[in-house]
């Protein structure tokens, strides 16, 4: 049975948020035109704090796949849902070129 996230939603602690160095000027971030994307390093900080190591990250509106990339890099299982075919292709391409970090 997969572990569920039992922590309540909250903002990142100051120590974690201060360590995030990703920005919207990063080359990987600028490659994809999805309008509400988040740099994977920002999503990863939340995933590492809020999702147990054997947990599942669900992104029901995955867009360009940033959260899925972050989940993969954090060694978490992931499931993304996207209705727009163009965004689905973008997310799929990003995941094919991302190497898991575990």
Structural domains of the chain ordered from first start = 36-102 (3.40.50.150)
CA 101 from chain center: how many Å?
Answer: 13
Q: Sorting pLDDT into bands at 50, 70 and 90, what band is 56? A: very high
H helix runs in 1-102, sequence order: 14-18, 27-31, 40-50, 66-73, 85-96
Q: What percent of the chain has pLDDT over 70?
A: 61
Mean per-residue pLDDT, 21-46: 69
4-8, 34-38, 43-47, 86-90: which has the minimum mean pLDDT? 4-8
pLDDT recorded at residue 18: 45
């Amino acid at each position: 049975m997969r572990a569920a996230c039992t922590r309540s939603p909250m903002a990142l602690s100051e120590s974690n948020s201060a360590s995030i160095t990703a920005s919207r000027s990063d080359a990987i971030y600028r490659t994809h035109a999805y309008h509400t994307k988040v740099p994977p390093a920002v999503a990863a900080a939340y995933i590492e704090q809020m999702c147990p190591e054997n947990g599942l990250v669900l992104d029901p509106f995955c867009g360009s796949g940033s959260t899925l990339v972050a989940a993969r890099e954090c060694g978490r299982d992931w499931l993304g849902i996207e209705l727009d075919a163009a965004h689905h292709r973008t997310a799929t391409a990003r995941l094919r070129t991302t190497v898991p970090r575990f």
